[in-house]
């Protein structure tokens, strides 16, 4: 079985999605080929959360098991043409930002992930989408940051950072999410955490619109994603 996984630049549900795909691949490695399609934003976000390296456990690099980065695909996204040939059994997009949901719902295909979704739908390949903003409120994890009220400016975090990503705050475009800074901070000033966010009405409506499209299945959360993955076998 051949599966395509599209990753967008959301931190919410990111680790849970990675856990689901790593477990799925590990359990069925001789029966499943997974291609990872990574948006530009996802490439940054997965590094910040320290998850980019985990992609190789899902897509080790052979044909149909590549890690396809939007940043290396140009503007025509030639690798998404595979969907038109019907060689994938399903496309899973998780986590899916509200921006990507809106574009797919409105038929816009100007990114690697939305282009993949459009080609898949036209080829009759089911597209499973896990939106991060469905309704109500969500509690989302955040990457490492520096609590300046606790920081003593000792410089230990700066000295151990292999990416040179730390100044007054963490530069997320350079951070690799390695966590070395957290380990050396004796003041507990570098931490992750969660934030509570309210889902906008426009995002809720776009999810409802997405549910009405042929060939699209909206999944509520990573638990439903995991169930859908196993059901494909």
Write down the mean pLDDT value for the chain: 92
pTM for this structure? 0.86
- Supply the pLDDT for residue 31: 94
Distances in Å between the Cα of 79 and the Cα atoms of 11, 63, 70, 73 are: 25, 11, 10, 8
Most confident range (mean pLDDT) of 29-33, 96-100, 162-166 is: 96-100
| Tally of structural domains, the chain | 2
Report the b/e string of 95-116 with b at 16+ CB within 10 A: bbbbbbbbbbbeeebebbbbbb
- Is the model's pLDDT at 192 over the cut of 80? no
Return the sign of the alpha-carbon dihedral for residues 14, 20, 22, 25: negative
- Is the model's pLDDT at 40 over the cut of 80? yes
Residues 180 and 115 in one domain: no
- Supply the pLDDT for residue 193: 66
Are 9 and 112 spatial neighbours (Cβ–Cβ below 8 Å)? no
Segment 161-173, tens digit of pLDDT:
998 988 888 888 8
Residues 173 and 63 in one domain: no
3-state secondary structure of 134: coil
Residues 207 and 152 in one domain: no
Measured CA to CA, the distance from residue 51 to residue 194 in angstroms comes to: 17
CATH code: domain of residue 94: 3.40.50.1950
Residues 116 and 176 in one domain: no
pLDDT band for position 176 (cuts 50, 70, 90) = confident
- Supply the pLDDT for residue 25: 96
Other residues' Cβ atoms within 10 Å of the Cβ of residue 92: 26
Residues 87 and 126 in one domain: yes
Residues 20 and 41 in one domain: yes
Residues 27 and 75 in one domain: yes
- Supply the pLDDT for residue 134: 87
Q: Which residue has the higher pLDDT, 145 or 56?
A: 56
Residues 54 and 162 in one domain: no
The domain of 84 spans: 2-133+200-232
Residues 223 and 115 in one domain: yes
């Amino acid at each position: 079985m051949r599966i395509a996984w599209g990753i967008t630049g959301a931190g919410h549900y990111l680790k849970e999605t990675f856990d689901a795909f790593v477990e799925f691949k590990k359990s069925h490695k001789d029966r499943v080929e997974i291609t990872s399609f990574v948006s530009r934003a996802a490439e940054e976000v997965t590094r910040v959360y320290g998850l980019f390296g985990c992609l190789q456990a899902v897509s080790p690099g052979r044909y149909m098991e590549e890690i396809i980065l939007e940043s290396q695909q140009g503007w025509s996204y030639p690798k998404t043409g595979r969907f038109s040939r019907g060689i994938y059994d399903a496309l899973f997009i998780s986590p899916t930002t509200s921006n990507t949901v809106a574009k797919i719902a409105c038929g816009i295909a100007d990114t690697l992930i939305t282009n993949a979704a459009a080609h898949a739908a036209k080829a009759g390949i089911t597209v499973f989408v896990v939106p991060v903003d469905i309704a109500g409120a969500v509690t989302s994890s955040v990457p490492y940051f520096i609590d300046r009220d606790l920081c003593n400016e000792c410089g230990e975090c700066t000295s151990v950072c292999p990416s040179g990503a730390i100044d007054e705050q963490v530069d997320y475009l350079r951070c690799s999410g390695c966590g070395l800074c957290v380990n050396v901070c004796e003041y507990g000033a570098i931490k992750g955490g969660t934030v509570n966010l309210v889902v906008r009405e426009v995002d809720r409506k776009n999810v409802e619109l997405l549910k009405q499209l042929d060939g699209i299945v909206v999944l509520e959360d990573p638990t439903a994603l995991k169930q859908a993955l196993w059901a494909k076998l």
